[in-house]
Amino acid sequence: MSEPKARKTNFIRQIIDKDLTSGKHRSIHTRFPPEPNGYLHIGHAKSICLNFGIAKDYQGPCNLRFDDTNPTKENIEFVESIQHDIKWLGFRWNGEIRYSSNYFPQLYQYAVELIRKGLAYIDELSPKQIRDYRGSLTEPGKNSPFRDRSVEENLAMFENMRLGEFAEGSACLRAKVNMASPFIVMRDPVLYRIKFAEHHQTGNQWCIYPMYDFTHCISDALEGITHSLCTLEFQDNRRLYDWILDNISIPCRPRQYEFSRLNLEYTVISKRKLNQLVTEKHVESWDDPRMPTLSGLRRRGYTASSIREFCQRIGVTKQENYIKISALESCIRDELNENAPRAMAILEPVKVVIENKGQEEELLTIPNHPNQPKMGNRKVPFSRKIYIDRTDFREEANKQYKRLVLGQEVRLRYAYVIKAERIEKDITGEVRTIFCTYDAETLNKDPVDGRKIKGVIHWVSIAHALPAEFRLYDRLFSIPNPAVVDFLTAINSGSLVIKQGFVEQSLASAKPEKPYQFERKGYFCADSHYSSADHLVFNRTVSLRDTWKKLRS
């Protein structure tokens, strides 16, 4: 029996190991807490793999909890898409789905507890005034004139807020911490605000909603979470996380630990910016194959296992950095090179007539994968008239060009050696037909006279070719870090190129998420929205090589 694969460690696992060894915890309980205000993206995949992976390795539960505290930006579509993406990645949550809105009654009572202790007050400053009073990184804030209301007045006003007797923006509940704190998050943060909006879970039951920072730590405690894992932008918020739990009567005491978020080149990983791309129609939808969302990557042809492998390779640290997008592409290339069956597709067709071949057709036996015999073979018709790619022919070329040249020979993939004898052009001067001859003794073997044939090109029989649309996707942005500029000005105008061509007949029933390597062109899959038996549409997942290496060097 082979030895089990060693588990990759990181600083969070080291903390957990220490907590278990010391007896601080007897078991581990994690959670994945997305806000349902957008689709999950590749950065969320890192957090999913971390939280669910730790739970699995330490044989503990991992909850799925929607931190749904802002009904104006959340909806059921996002809730359902998040569930689907987590399952697609290969993870299952513990028990029923949780919602922070499940805890609204308890959260309200904990807010009342803080008011009773003199640690929270109703503020009637406007949102702009609150920001102005908060100060800056170099200047302390100043106290609100409403900071010293009595406990009784605060309790009565908070109840009136709950009953809908205040207009939106006219009052809020703030924690009474320290307006001179060097950490702005601790300068009397807002705990509750008024929103007359229907909630996707609670309907119109509430018109006041708790803020994320107040909700998150209490939800963790109510669920018995031991290690609350979040990204580094919440590092300062840990002080508020601890302050709230230290000042309410709740038995469980989770701890927050931060790790670096995933920053990916040529990408924006911000739900606000991704939402802007969608709402302003810069992309088709949240699952546009150029988007870094999990649904977009899936539609493009990325597999769940390749994304899990990517998250494994980049690891978990506290160091902020940008991951090269080639690292993500490498994961899917490595997988598809081994697992994707091969097929022939012509993206820019030009007609070839083999003049010395009769009208009869041959059925050639072609392997589905050159290195995977278990994938079997397929029958592909070969006939007198075929399509080849226009880029595979030149009238003249130097010796470095190893494809079809007028007056020279090349091999057709898994078929015969052909020679270009003459051409026919249209009125614009573009080659319309290439007339060739073939050597009938060269089916999958070298010419008997020892001629050396250097090039190999792919082809499709015209009589059996299926029309297909090819969507060639590339990086959505033209610069490595679009966040340093107005990101909309950095959109890559060549991020989608559409071509009309043909595929071999074996692809008539190609299914979405089923990968193929189109010989010499890249890895593709049928589009889940537009492809059908009557109109085949293929998305390029990734090219065969990192074509941007040359551009960057």
Residue 172 corresponds to which tokens in the numbers above? 């809020």
The reported pLDDT for the residue numbered 2 is: 39
The reported pLDDT for the residue numbered 180 is: 97
Q: The dihedral of CA 523, 529, 532, 534: what is its sign?
A: negative
Same domain, 484 and 433: no
Q: How far apart are the first and last CA of the chain?
A: 46
Which DSSP letter does residue 464 get? G
Domain end, chosen from 259, 291, 318, is at 259
Same domain, 68 and 96: yes
Spatial distance between the Cα atoms of 97 and 68, rounded to a whole number of angstroms: 12
Type and span of the H or E element at 388: strand 385-389
Query: Which residues does the chain have with pLDDT short of 50?
Result: 1-5, 551-553
Same domain, 90 and 214: yes
Same domain, 54 and 140: yes
Domain end, chosen from 207, 234, 259, is at 259
Q: Which of 35, 74, 258, 519 is catalytic?
A: 35
Structural domain contains residue 375:
yes
CATH classification at residue 40? 3.40.50.620
Q: How far is CA 312 from the centre of its chain?
A: 15
The reported pLDDT for the residue numbered 549 is: 56
Same domain, 303 and 154: no
CATH classification at residue 546? 2.40.240.10
Same domain, 135 and 214: yes
Structural domain contains residue 11:
no
Residue 462 corresponds to which tokens in the numbers above? 């015209």
Structural domain contains residue 277:
yes
271 tagged catalytic: yes
Residue 459 corresponds to which tokens in the numbers above? 């082809």
Among 236, 254, 174, CA closest to 210:
174
Same domain, 326 and 351: no
Residue 37 corresponds to which tokens in the numbers above? 């205000």
Structural domain of 312: 271-340+468-552
Same domain, 140 and 218: yes
Structural domain contains residue 463:
no
The reported pLDDT for the residue numbered 450 is: 87
- Indicate the pTM of the whole model: 0.94
Which DSSP letter does residue 226 get? S
The reported pLDDT for the residue numbered 546 is: 78
The reported pLDDT for the residue numbered 547 is: 67
Structural domain contains residue 3:
no
Same domain, 288 and 252: no
Q: Which of 98, 176, 193, 271 is catalytic?
A: 271
Same domain, 228 and 99: yes
Same domain, 492 and 521: yes
Q: For residue 443, which amino acid is it?
A: L
394 tagged catalytic: no
The reported pLDDT for the residue numbered 545 is: 87
What is the domain count for the chain?
3
Spatial distance between the Cα atoms of 16 and 33, rounded to a whole number of angstroms: 20
Same domain, 335 and 374: no
Spatial distance between the Cα atoms of 503 and 406, rounded to a whole number of angstroms: 25
The phi-psi region of residue 9 (left if phi > 0; otherwise alpha if psi is between -120 and 50; otherwise beta) is: beta
Structural domain contains residue 93:
yes
The reported pLDDT for the residue numbered 1 is: 34
Structural domain contains residue 321:
yes
Structural domain contains residue 95:
yes
Q: Which of 13, 142, 147, 261 is catalytic?
A: 261
Domain end, chosen from 404, 425, 458, is at 458
